[in-house]
Amino acid sequence: MPTANAGACEACRKELPAWALSKCPICGHLTCHKCARQAYGREFCSDRCAHYFFRAEGDDEDESAET
């Protein structure tokens, strides 16, 4: 029986134990360390999610800057 904590990489579909997988902070997908995109000190499932994270971080400008 496989361990209950095992998961599968969303990218390469390889089944791995939980400790070998990273959870994408954007979409929650699990990826192995080989498939994960490392950016901004985090691991994302794809470049798209990394870019989304970067834009979300930088998208904090105040739109209603009227006095």
**Shortest spacing between CB 50 and Zn ion, in angstroms:** 8
Q: What CA–CA distance (Å, rounded) separates 7 from 67?
A: 52
Beta strands in the chain (DSSP E): 7-8, 15-16, 21-23, 30-32, 37-39, 42-44
Residue 33: Cβ within 10 Å count: 13
Nearer to Zn ion, 33 or 59 (CB): 33
Nearer to Zn ion, 44 or 59 (CB): 44
21, 30, 49, 50: which one contacts Zn ion (CB under 5 A)? 49
Helix, strand, or coil (residue 41): coil
6, 18, 27, 56: which one contacts Zn ion (CB under 5 A)? 27
Binding site for Zn ion (CB under 5 A): 9, 11-12, 24, 26-27, 29, 32, 35, 45, 49
